[in-house]
Amino acid sequence: MRKFLSTGMIALAAVSLGACAEYRNNDTVRGAGRGAAIGAVGGAVVGAVVGGVNPIEGAVAGAVAGGAVGALTTKGRRWMRDDQGSCYYLNSRNDRVYDRKRSC
């Protein structure tokens, strides 16, 4: 029961830390935050199930690995808002690429 409780608390902390990283206009930061939260939860679960691995150590390792994977796999676009309120990002040629469905 104690392992289950500590795993639940670690998962809650990881989710709240991932929510803090939800910076609206930067996909890389958002991806890293989500990856870290998912990795921390997965690492805590693995640490609780596998013998010889502490759930806290598993959560830390999972958060580091998940954050790195999340940051590397996002497109890294910085979204901006124009004068009319539409969201766009600049491509490699510095042309504006609009997404009418996105809110920023």
Q: Is 85 within a domain?
A: no
Higher confidence at residue 15 or residue 62? 62
Instruction: Look at residue 82 and tell me if it is in a domain.
Output: no
Tell me whether strands 87-90 and 80-81 are parallel, antiparallel or unpaired.
antiparallel
Structural domain of 53: 2-76
User: In this model, does residue 84 exceed pLDDT 60?
Assistant: yes
Q: Is residue 26 part of a domain?
A: yes
Residue 96 lies in a domain: no
Q: How many domains does the chain have?
A: 1
In a domain, 83, yes or no: no
Each residue's pLDDT tens digit, 14-58: 555 554 444 455 667 778 888 888 889 888 888 888 878 788 888
Q: How far is CA 103 from CA 9, 78, 90, 98, in A?
A: 33, 13, 16, 11
On whether residue 53 sits in a domain, the answer given is yes
Q: What is the pTM of this model?
A: 0.52
Cα-flanking dihedrals φ and ψ of residue 52, to 5°? 90, -5
